[in-house]
């Protein structure tokens, strides 16, 4: 008979596209993954009694990684959509978001989404922002691997606007200052983020919902929220 395996701490493998501050990004000094989503999934793991290990995966590779079983869970500012719900299970919504547009600070002609007709727009590939931008009449949509690359293209003058999640746009402008870019107009829509698990892993989905509910009750969610979004 084989000797018994030593007991190992259970690990929850979480995937995130760590280029989406303040939800998930790499701390410049420590090189650790950090952000609202990272703190939240770690708190959920703690609640469940498991260790959380974060893997950095490109946004459009996250659902495939979940389907392939390379990760157990994904948390990446991912909007709950009908199309994605066909492929994964989403937790109860954990954050209210929406899309907004960013233009150069000195641009005084683009004031709202309706001004984007026929314009050049940068988006992140595989996102709700990309989908919505493609619906704008005659717009030329250029897809980048992540949000920072889309912002860089705006700064370089290669596009007229970036369409991306409002809280990420706000954080970007707060960090870089108002000299380069500004948010204009009203948010285009309302979206909600969810934590995704594989379709077949309903047990894990339930545990995550339970942990999330507990963190909302015991004030931990509020603490994490205030750390990243409190003024
Ligand atoms: N919320 C958007 C989406 O789900 C963007 C997410 C992201 O870029 N991390 O498509």
Atom of ligand 1 nearest to the CA of 81: 4
Whether the Cβ atoms of residue 115 and residue 188 lie closer than 8 Å to each other = no
Predicted local distance difference test score (pLDDT) of residue 47: 96
Whether the Cβ atoms of residue 207 and residue 48 lie closer than 8 Å to each other = yes
With a cut of 90, say whether residue 138 has pLDDT above it.
yes
> ipTM beyond 0.85?
yes
Strand-pairing partners, residue 79, are 193
How much distance in Å is there from the Cα of 116 to the middle of ligand 1?
20
How much distance in Å is there from the Cα of 78 to the middle of ligand 1?
5
How much distance in Å is there from the Cα of 9 to the middle of ligand 1?
31
The whole-angstrom separation of Cα 99 and Cα 110 is 16
Q: Which CATH class is domain 99-184?
A: alpha beta
Predicted local distance difference test score (pLDDT) of residue 2: 62
Answer positive or negative: Cα dihedral of 158, 162, 168, 172. Answer: positive
Average pLDDT over residues 77-84: 98
Q: Is the CB of 163 under 6 A from ligand 1?
A: no
Q: Is the CB of 169 under 6 A from ligand 1?
A: no
Cis amide linkage into residue 37, ω under 30° from 0:
no
Whether the Cβ atoms of residue 179 and residue 99 lie closer than 8 Å to each other = no
Residues in the chain: 231
Three-class secondary structure of residue 70 per DSSP: coil
DSSP H helices in 18-165: 36-48, 62-67, 82-85, 128-134, 147-155
pLDDT digit string, tens, across residues 180-221: 999 999 999 999 999 999 999 999 999 999 999 999 999 999
Strand-pairing partners, residue 168, are none
pLDDT band at 178 (very low <50, low <70, confident <90, very high): confident
With a cut of 90, say whether residue 17 has pLDDT above it.
yes
pLDDT band at 134 (very low <50, low <70, confident <90, very high): very high
With a cut of 80, say whether residue 6 has pLDDT above it.
no
Minimal CA–CA distance to 32: which of 22, 40, 44, 24? 24
Q: How many helices and strands in the chain, by DSSP H and E?
A: 8, 15
What's domain 11-95+192-229's architecture?
3-Layer(aba) Sandwich (3.40)
Mean pLDDT of the chain: 95
Q: Is the CB of 59 under 6 A from ligand 1?
A: yes
Predicted local distance difference test score (pLDDT) of residue 185: 94
Atom of ligand 1 nearest to the CA of 76: 9
Domains of the chain: which residue ranges?
11-95+192-229, 99-184
- The reply to whether 99-184 shares the fold of 11-95+192-229 is yes
Average pLDDT over residues 17-22: 97
């Amino acid at each position: 008979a084989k000797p018994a395996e030593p007991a190992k701490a259970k690990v929850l493998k979480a995937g995130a596209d760590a280029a989406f501050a303040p939800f998930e990004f790499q701390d410049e000094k420590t090189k650790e993954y950090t952000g609202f989503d990272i703190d939240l999934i770690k708190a959920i793991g703690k609640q469940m009694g498991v260790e959380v290990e974060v893997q950095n995966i490109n946004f459009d590779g996250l659902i495939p990684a979940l389907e392939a079983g390379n990760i157990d869970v994904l948390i990446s500012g991912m909007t709950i959509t009908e199309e994605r719900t066909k492929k994964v299970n989403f937790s109860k919504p954990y954050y209210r978001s929406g899309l907004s547009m960013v233009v150069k600070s000195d641009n005084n002609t683009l004031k709202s989404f309706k001004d984007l007709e026929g314009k050049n727009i940068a988006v992140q590939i595989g996102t709700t922002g990309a989908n919505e931008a493609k619906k704008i009449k005659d717009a030329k949509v250029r897809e980048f691997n992540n949000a920072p690359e889309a912002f860089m293209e705006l700064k370089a003058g290669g596009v007229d606007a970036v369409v991306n999640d409002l809280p990420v746009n706000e954080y970007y402008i707060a960090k870089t200052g108002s000299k380069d870019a500004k948010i204009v107009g009203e948010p285009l829509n309302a979206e909600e983020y969810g934590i995704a698990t594989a379709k077949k892993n309903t047990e894990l989905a339930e545990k995550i919902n339970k942990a999330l509910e507990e963190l909302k009750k015991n004030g931990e969610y509020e603490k994490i929220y205030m750390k990243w979004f409190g003024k």
